[in-house]
Amino acid sequence: MEECCSTKPKKEHHHNHEDHDHDHSHDTGDQSVFRMFLPAIISFTVLLLGIALDYYIKPAWFSGWVRLVWYLIAYVPVGLPVLKEAYESITKGDVFSEFFLMGIATVGAFAIGEYPEGVAVMLFYSVGEVFQAMAVTRAKRNIKSLLDQRPDEVTILKDGQPQTVKAEKVNIGEIIQLKSGEKLGLDGELLSDKASFNTAALTGESKPDTKIKGETVLAGMINLNTVSQVKVTTAYKDSKLSKILEMVQNATAQKAPTELFIRKFAKIYTPIVVFLAIGITLLPYFFVEDYHFRDWLYRALIFLVISCPCALVISIPLGYFGGIGAGSRHGILFKGSNFLDVLAKVQNVVMDKTGTMTEGVFKVQEVAFKNEFNKDEILKLVNALEGQSTHPVATAIHHYVGEIDQSIQLKNVEEIAGHGLKSMINGKELLVGNFKLMDKFNIKYDIKPENIVYTLIAVAYDKKFVGYLTIADSIKADAQLTINKLKALHVQTTMLSGDKTSVVKYVADQLGIQNAYGDLLPEDKVNKVKEIKAKNQTVAFVGDGVNDAPVVALSDVGIAMGGLGSDATIETADVVIQDDMPSKIPMAINIGKQTKKIVWQNITLAFAVKAVVLILGAGGLATMWEAVFADVGVALLAILNAVRIQKMKF
């Protein structure tokens, strides 16, 4: 099937072709519905007139070669394309395609004089093909319209003058001017003091997201208020939206086991059906007294029509495509249909704390300094030293204290890994970090750090313990709902974090997470996930930081928080949640479960109906009309069932 989700700009889409055993691709993009159905309408009209002449009007001239030519005229508009497909499949080495089955069955019907039935089989098959093509195109268009929402052109400022250029020609460092209501074409950094954006194209959520100067803004966001300026930080082809489009475009290449099984099954099944049909035609000659070649050939032709694996070959990939589309609509990107299957049976969700279940935005809660020290003076020194770090803790202190005092002279600044920062100021030593840093430099303190829930930043100045700051991260608004929904799905929850154990336990207890472990290095997280996998249980890991990439890769399905998550984690992950909302985790599992349910409903329906009609056909109790229902009718029912997932509420 042709993939619609191109990463190129809209005006120059290219198409990738999947290697399907049974190619149902119809490029319906530029065709009107009427044009698609026109051959079937012509065929249907001529067929109805033929049946009227055959059974009601019965003129003398409507017989012999005239009757044959009449039905051939009805057959050609719908039959010729299928016979052409059959011929092309044979030249490529795929002899036993469904086109070949339909060709034999309908040509055979003509050979034994069953003209109306031969035309009807091909007519209904062609109508089914058009419906399939429309369903696939619609599914792809839905995903495409959700995702490829970047403008082709943007307004950049050249020497202070606005100039409209192609988005893909814009260089990193150039400044885009974004008017109210305009979509951003490339990722960048906001230069204006403040701006509100609609992020629905990226996250599925339409509520405004307010950004302040220096924050990252992404392609696809819509500016909601005043004219804003954005400095481009990423090339057009490397923007987050481009990567998202690429992920969805490649998603259908990653086949689910069920899909792969059906494709292999069809390759073996179709030749068996052809040889069985030959057996039904010829073998009764040796066992039946009153053998009529025509009767047994008719039964074999019915058998061929019923046996066509059309319903399975199209409806199963369409079911998975529908699941991927449903996810995209809610801001969840599946990198392959195989991950829908894994999520459907996941038993454990292991999650990071910071940025996954909490906001990842630290705030100073309390400053507990001894009275002998000037609180404001020490805070200025701490702020100056933390200004040397990019850690979230440093940002929290900076937001609390304010602008850094540039008059403070820092000397011999040293970052001690896993401990904190050290510097000389006015000839005195300043230490800012955790209590392990105090122990390392033999600073005596009179508190028990383990009794305080929040993250602690200890401060020592001139070899004396000054006190500490408590820093906390707020739990995400939908974190509690997430855990409740996961419990309802009978999924075990575990939290792994590098933060201190008391903080991790506190957050886990607040949310009702079953297992929680803190003070973990990235390799410790990997070992914890290995322990769960050793019990033969499926694990989904959810994270957002660079340090989560190894454990995301190890899990059965890795889920990345993609809004502000690291590129390394998004690249490694199998599923990306674009708006960082943890409640999308149980939603993704639910989409996987519903997709699998629909796929198995289609498999059961197709096999059950075909088995019944096959037995009736071989016994001479079913006609071509039942055969048409068993093939085309079941295919249409399966397609309608498959597209249903895109309308579901999760």
Selecting among 148, 187, 352, 556, the annotated active-site residue is 352
Residue 625 makes CB contacts below 8 A (sequence gap 6+) with 117, 120
* DSSP letter (8 states) at residue 325: H
C-alpha span between 623 and 117 (Å, rounded): 9
C-alpha span between 75 and 63 (Å, rounded): 17
Beta strands in 30-81 (DSSP E): none
201: amino acid identity, one letter: A
Is 579 designated active site? Answer: no
CA 136 vs. chain centroid, Å, equals: 16
**End-to-end CA separation in angstroms for the chain:** 28
3-state secondary structure (DSSP) of residue 494: strand
Residues 392, 545: contact at Cβ < 8 Å?
A: no
CA 68 vs. chain centroid, Å, equals: 52
Residue among 217, 225, 174 at smallest CA distance from 199: 217
Residue among 240, 220, 238 at smallest CA distance from 150: 220
Measure the CA dihedral 586/589/594/600, to 10°. Answer: -160
The first and second tokens of residue 559, run together, are: 């889920």
Residue among 155, 173, 172 at smallest CA distance from 164: 155
346: amino acid identity, one letter: V
Task: Say if strands 358-369 and 216-217 run parallel, antiparallel, or are unpaired.
Answer: unpaired
Residues 352, 496: contact at Cβ < 8 Å?
A: yes
Q: Report, in angstroms and rounded to the nearest whole number, the Rg of the chain calculated over CA atoms.
A: 33
Tell me which residues are annotated as active site.
352
